[in-house]
Structure 1
């Protein structure tokens, strides 16, 4: 069959032209205001489709294309719509689903996460949930739920507030004194180089705080090596306290004073008020958020769209070429936001900037496995029970304590309806920057390692074998904010800007921070930056 060209004229009252070649759910176009023209060429073999065909009709050019439908990409698109009234946005995703590493599974009476497990309910996070229609689906953990660290064979509670600090037994009395004196500024002065987390904490708060609190925390959050992670990049807020106030306590008081003297916008009355410091999720797991956002964005989210090339025209418009189930598709847009992992962005951006591509290739993502297993309640050691129940957020394990598992989340204690009656559900993380060899292990070997570790501290040694709920290995899991991270990131951004690629934004967890809440908070910032750029945009 030869090729032919067809032209459709359609009005805003139509979703798509009747009997059009775009009836496929993989390509549905929603018209904007005014009469629009759409051309397509259908040839023997794969179909080639071009959206936004010419600048004669400038409305046909998208305001923004978001590459990647993980939580960062979806939240940026929603923020553009809800905060800035801009829906002329496409979100494209190479995989068959939205949400990125957020992976919630429900089966056999269990509900579990194989990626991120919860979020801190900050106002931006709650706003995103409310705007997604999920206010009534929010579930928050008990703010009094204890957290534990393994030390000398015993799970010891971590203080949840400053007043608890003198009374908990995770640290010695001299260790507490050292931490207190360092916090008020009686410690060595900052060196003349970028400090690792280990250097910063040992200098400011002493060896015990690092070894018994911060090192396991780094393992649990970043799956990282604190001797290589940058304090400035990974925990910038704490780093700035010393920079701004001369000490951690001095910086804290200064920040409180500045905050009390500033004009604070009234809090959105729609938002729930969490009681104390806690974590949150949704009734049916974290996947509810990306799924809800995707539903609201409707046909502006495109799955199975693999970006193959990106270029910028002489008129200042970006052109993106995609492989899709309907053939090759081309989009034109005033701005592009890359929310894919840095190693993916590096390959895509190579033709635009060798310098940016090289910088983005430097970030390291170590492997992490999420091992979810279940035991009967009677398998828990009696000394680990509170009022006859396993209560708490979970536990972290310093690398010095002879266990391989990084940490364990008490999933069935943290949120409701995560396990059948009489069972407990434990989400365990293993691997990371200090143990990349997990990729050579089988699933059964990973389960054996986790079970062996748990029997040293939480599970009775004679308990029956665990029921394996799920095992998920992420070969490239969490970007490491190592020393020099911010400089490398700035190199990539500067190379794109100086190379004539203004309007191309880098986003995602290697930019914002690895916590889910950080990605959501940054989404609002990126949406504001894009809106500001568009307000000054002019066709060349």
Structure 2
């Protein structure tokens, strides 16, 4: 999940149904149930944040490209420019308003709680070649960790956690869908279904039409909740799941499009795969030995003084050639003259920055919606897990998703301690739970104790014994503006913003980030490579007079 910055407090249990709220800043007692300090891991191989080199106040720097935002999109764009486009972008600058890199990535360890490590933002990535290349270029080849490709994923349906088929041959045998539902999905995938609409379809409309009600209600709806924290009746199929949408468009049906894609791949084979990249079997997810924060910290360390922390961008001014960016920094007011600018900040931040240059672009960017999401991290003893949920005596699997129709408020639960090594002490189970989203925006008005109580109540319906001991609450992180929603019209609004920039003659300003590339961490990295290529092409034609 791709998330925005939020605030959190600390809470403790006195019983499964009784909570005591303890503001984080008041934890001073040595016998407090929580540690005195929660430490985000924000540096590669150490807990030391990147230090920006001091710059003389009032001076003006000159650079080929300024990347605004040191989240994963901004840092990966910078690294791609440095490693793949050095001739055209030898001089770059990454600026970040906060005092740390990583943006939404928030890996946490707590002092006094040895053995626990968890994520409060994105939790993993799909190990695409782009992601693996970025990891290797960052020197993290020995720190990659992957989940078991054979581990099951679950959906809660009719009072039971049911495994989801991991491959096509599993489809006839799993019990999440009825036989008529499977037959309907099969015929629809072959093209025996109503024709597509002339208008842009929502995810719900597309899936119900192509694959039937059961696939939507039992698979896709909980998946949308888990990935986008979104409402599938409003999400655009074309924008949110473009690869599947293209299958029907290009091949007349999902199966027809799949065969056509295979044929096209044989006619136009991809370049040889980088032999350095690890070969993985099956569908899995990845992270790093000490959590996702290792990646932005490693990139920042490699970029060194090219990364400027606590630099708040106040304005962008168009020059005859290039742009002048004004910053409030710890060393005073600073200006930067740049040939190009990449904005990898959230769309609402980009909207405010671009308003003086283009009202139309700013208006388009202001229309993207980010609903709130809370990440609730708790731990139970291994004995608290229901026996029927154990496999060979262990909690195995990626996690579970919860359809909105099943009376469960929590969007989904990730089995963090089962997914990656060294996430919890022996005998303990670490669970990362997400709650909120587009269909439950009221979480922002709830106390953190209420959120934990809701998650614990839900888990006792599905995974945890009802009479189990109370969980250890490690963290509650509320993200008021979490995940951009790729709703119907999203791509049109994005294109309108880009067109408005071109219309105003603002060539050299590029839009990046998760609302452009996609919400998954892997898509942000793939989008960073795409942005770097686009900027390099622009800079290759650019010269100061």
2:529 to 524, 529, 538: 524
| 1:190-246 CA distance string (max 9 Å, x none) | 011000000000000000000000000000000000000000000000000000000
The 2-side partners of 1:401 and 1:137 are apart by 39
| 1:410-449 aligned within 5 A | 410-449=415-454
Deviation at 1:262, TM superposition (A): 1.3
Tell me if structure 1 keeps the 8 A contact 2:364–2:493.
Answer: yes
The 2-side partners of 1:536 and 1:50 are apart by 24
Structure with larger RCO (C-alpha < 8 A, sep 6+): 2
In the TM superposition, structure 1's runs of 4+ consecutive aligned residues that sit over 4 Å from their partners are: none
The 2-side partners of 1:266 and 1:48 are apart by 49
Q: Does 1:101 align with 2:90?
A: no
Q: Does 1:133 align with 2:136?
A: no
- Corresponding residue of 2:331: 326
Q: Does 1:50 align with 2:60?
A: yes
The 1-side partners of 2:438 and 2:231 are apart by 6
TM-score norm. by structure 1 comes to 0.90
TM-score norm. by structure 2 comes to 0.89
| 1:445-483 CA distance string (max 9 Å, x none) | 110000000000100000011000111000000000000
1:343 to 345, 348, 371: 348
1:247 to 250, 253, 257: 253
Tell me if structure 2 keeps the 8 A contact 1:342–1:360.
Answer: yes
- Corresponding residue of 2:208: 202
Tell me if structure 2 keeps the 8 A contact 1:26–1:325.
Answer: no
- Corresponding residue of 1:182: 188
1:115 to 121, 124, 130: 121
Question: For 1:456, what is the secondary structure of its paired residue?
Answer: helix
Deviation at 1:25, TM superposition (A): 5.3
- Corresponding residue of 1:87: 90
- Corresponding residue of 1:501: 506
- Corresponding residue of 2:277: 271
Aligned length: 491
- Corresponding residue of 2:6: none
The 2-side partners of 1:274 and 1:472 are apart by 33
1:158 to 135, 157, 164: 164
Question: For 1:135, what is the secondary structure of its paired residue?
Answer: coil
Q: Could you tell me which runs of 5 or more consecutive residues in structure 2 were left unpaired when the two chains were aligned.
A: 1-49
- Aligned CA RMSD, in angstroms, stands at 1.1
Deviation at 1:539, TM superposition (A): 2.8
Q: Could you tell me which runs of 5 or more consecutive residues in structure 1 were left unpaired when the two chains were aligned.
A: 1-23, 30-39, 41-46, 52-60
| 1:126-155 CA distance string (max 9 Å, x none) | 000000000000000000010000000000
The 1-side partners of 2:456 and 2:311 are apart by 40
Question: For 1:343, what is the secondary structure of its paired residue?
Answer: helix
Q: Does 1:308 align with 2:318?
A: no
Q: Does 1:66 align with 2:71?
A: no
Q: Which has the higher mean CA deviation after the structures are superposed, 259-268 or 438-447?
A: 259-268
| 1:27-78 CA distance string (max 9 Å, x none) | 447xxxxxxxxxx6xxxxxx42222xxxxxxxxx311000000000000000
Q: Does 1:226 align with 2:229?
A: no
Tell me if structure 2 keeps the 8 A contact 1:405–1:453.
Answer: yes
Tell me if structure 2 keeps the 8 A contact 1:132–1:296.
Answer: yes
The 2-side partners of 1:529 and 1:434 are apart by 36
Question: For 2:151, what is the secondary structure of its paired residue?
Answer: coil
2:402 to 394, 397, 400: 397
The 2-side partners of 1:345 and 1:465 are apart by 43
**CA 1:171/1:324 → structure 2, altered by over 3 Å: closer, same or farther?**
same
